[in-house]
Amino acid sequence: MHLLVVEDDVKAAAYLCKGLRESGHNVDHAADGKDGLFMAMENEYDVIVIDRMLPELDGLSVVRTLRAAKKKTPVLVLSALGEVADRVQGLNAGSDDYLVKPFAFSELLARLDALMRRSDGETSKTSLGVADLEIDLLSREVRRGGILIELQPREFRLLEYLMRHAGQVVTRTMLLENVWDYHFDPQTNVIDVHISRLRGKIDRNFDQTLLQTIRGAGYCLRAPD
């Protein structure tokens, strides 16, 4: 994947570029907002990672300019400002995700992965499937191997999110933000409990385990190899 990192802090930029390259991405780097905007306009990147506070032109202005120029490249904003109002501002400017510094690298990778897949345009589907697990988004029915599974509304949303990101690592924070719209760290393993409940419904009584725990990162819904 071809990524653009716009970050003025030398150490942070080096760390980001190195980590992303090690994860198999092709990374370009810009050190200020003006350069970043120029590079984003000239090239077709898969995702742009941009710091909110930049010299010359701040991150949100870059995003606004890009969107005004009908450039639809997914943008992930990095920021030290983590309040809800800051986040809303960031998303209103036209960015696709907002990650508060400091963050775990696995979190960034998972989110980038999610953004790249989203641009593939899978959102208009009416049903999703992984192996023999199928969900119907219209009738909100879940079946595994043809057997109907009863889910609570929130469990359905959790499963839907995991299905939409099937094969990707989904972090606990991503689940909190997208399934519950919670932007704080609950400090407890509530998410794990919700996952194990869901697992009890969709995986128990079946030979293959679809919902897997990725140690130190999060979860992944995928068909076993």
Partner 1 sequence: MRQISLFRSSTFLLTMSCVSVFILSAVMLMGFVYFYTSTYIAQRTDETINAALNGLKERYQDSGMGGLQQVISKRVASDSIGSDILLLADYGKNTLAGNLDQWPDVKGTPDGWINFRLEGRGHGDDIPHWARARWFTLPEGFQLIVGRDLYDLEMSRNAIARTLSWGLVAAGIMAILGGVTLARGFLRRIEMINQASNEIINGDLSRRIRTDNTGDDFDQLSNNLNQMLDRIVELMEGVRRVSDNIAHDLRTPLARLRNHLDELKSASGSEGDTDSVDQAIQEADELLATFNALLRIARLESESQPDYLVDVDLVAVVSDAVEFYEPLAEEKMQRMEISVPPDSLIILGDRGLLSQLIANLLDNAIKYAPTQGHIKVSLLPGPEYVTLSIADSGAGIPIEERSKVFQRFYRLESSRSSPGNGLGLSLVAAVATLHAAPIRLSDNQPGLRVIIDFPRQQV
- Closest separation in Å from C-beta 155 to partner 1: 10
Residue 153 near residue 179 (C-beta atoms within 8 A): no
- CA 98 – CA 199 distance, rounded (Å): 29
- Closest separation in Å from C-beta 169 to partner 1: 14
- Closest separation in Å from C-beta 5 to partner 1: 15
What the block records as the tokens of 223 is 């068909």
Q: Can you give the length of the chain in residues?
A: 225
Closer Cβ to partner 1, 85 or 148, answer by number: 85
Closer Cβ to partner 1, 123 or 187, answer by number: 187
Tell me which residue of 16, 82, 23 sits closest to 50, measured CA to CA: 16
- 77-80 long-range contacts (CB < 8 A, ≥24 apart) are 77/50, 77/51, 77/52, 78/7, 78/49, 78/50, 78/51, 78/52, 78/103, 79/51, 79/52, 79/53, 80/52, 80/53
Closer Cβ to partner 1, 71 or 183, answer by number: 183
Please give the residue ranges that form the binding site for partner 1 (CB under 8 A): 11, 15, 19, 22, 80, 82-85, 101-106, 154, 180-190, 193-194, 197, 215-216
- CA 87 – CA 14 distance, rounded (Å): 25
Give SS3 for 59: helix
- Closest separation in Å from C-beta 192 to partner 1: 10
- Closest separation in Å from C-beta 85 to partner 1: 5
Closer Cβ to partner 1, 43 or 189, answer by number: 189
Closer Cβ to partner 1, 50 or 166, answer by number: 50
